[in-house]
């Protein structure tokens, strides 16, 4: 398991799913929102929070 995979696995499920859809599957925020049935603003918020958590974890390690 790679370090990035471990970091993603340590995130809450919603953050992990949305970040994976955005950064690995290259879906837009609107595509993610439509697929998950949530507002686009919620997707934006989760991406911001999740990215911050990942950067913080990387800086600690």
Which one, of 58, 23, 2, 5, lies nearest residue 46 by Cα? 23
Give the right CATH number for 3-60 from 1.10.3720.10, 3.60.140.10, 1.10.10.10, 3.40.190.10.
1.10.10.10
The confidence score (pLDDT) of residue 47 equals 96
- Global pTM reads 0.86
Cα maximum dimension of the chain: 35
Joined tokens for residue 30: 């609107």
What is the per-residue pLDDT across 8-61, written as a single tens digit (0 to 9) for each?
888 899 999 999 999 999 999 999 999 999 999 999 999 999 999 888 888 886
Distance of alpha carbon 40 from the chain centroid: 14
36, two tokens: 């998950």
Structure tokens at 44: 């934006």
């Amino acid at each position: 398991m790679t370090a990035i995979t471990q970091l993603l696995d340590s995130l809450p499920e919603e953050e992990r799913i949305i970040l994976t859809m955005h950064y690995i599957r290259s879906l837009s925020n609107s595509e993610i929102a439509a697929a998950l049935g949530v507002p686009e603003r919620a997707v934006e918020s989760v991406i911001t929070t999740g990215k911050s958590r990942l950067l913080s974890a990387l800086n600690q390690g």
